Structure 1
Amino acid sequence: MKYEIDYIIKEQFDYYKNMCALLSEFKDSEFGPPAEIEKIEQWEKDNNVKLPYQYKSWLLLTAESNILDMYIEFSWPTIGTLNEKNDIIIIASIIGDGETVYISRLNGKVFSIFEGEIKEYKDFDDFLTIQSLYIESMAEEYLGADWGDIYDELFEGE
């Protein structure tokens, strides 16, 4: 059976790649190769957990990635402990300043913790959308207020 990648996550992935290309003169980014569905399913089986559909779609696009000089670093999922033994899945870090992004093994919710403050997201797409606001502020800082026009000129019609 073929796994269908969530189209919203595919759009987010393409946007992230385009933004990284747009800012490549100023910030380095790297998108690793996609994971194979069999590897993801084996990880789920080995860890007795089902990854959320949107996050699994992201892994099928890139198993690991470094976005804009490690603003976001997506890593292969690992099991961790927050409140109870093995209750979280660690999926990313933000800005390298200690903010870590997790998925709850209990309910599949995506959340991050920074300096003791928990931020919950509706889903993985919501997390990507909120982070893209900072990426867009970087574009404005480096390329000016008309960065959106530059983006459209380069990537419109892809």
Structure 2
Amino acid sequence: MPAVQADLDRFDHAILRVLATEGRISAVELARRVGLSKSPVQARMKRLEEDGVIAGYRAILDPVKMGLAHVAFVEVRLDDTREAALQAFNRAVLTVPEVEQCHMIASRFDYLLKVRTVDIADYRRVLAERISALPHVAQTSTYVAMEAVKEAV
């Protein structure tokens, strides 16, 4: 069943734009920026949270400063693409902490992973011991990122 799109007006969009870049902004400052008073902004934020439009709040960490500068993109082809195999892969890939993103792809391969590790040696270990050991993995191809030109968080 497809997700239902929330009914958002211009104030909701304005609130979301500010919160997307400044999640710790005070309600008073947010209200000032979007042209409403504090109470309506708080009510809208509560509704947006309850409706799942705002899925949560989090700290944005700098992976390079955490020693995780190596980024690789991995194409994964499965040996079986029936629903049970896809679900088994999906469940298992969630347990690999080095996999930052996992997308099912409509292409000549089945999944595209974004993997973040300390260095190439660490990546090689993760590929051999974790990614290649995931259910139904038949083949992988790796592309090492040299520089992140644009990376949304």
Rg larger in structure: 2
Q: TM-score, normalised by structure 1?
A: 0.20
Q: Which has the higher contact order (CA 8 A, sep 6+)?
A: 2
Q: TM-score, normalised by structure 2?
A: 0.21
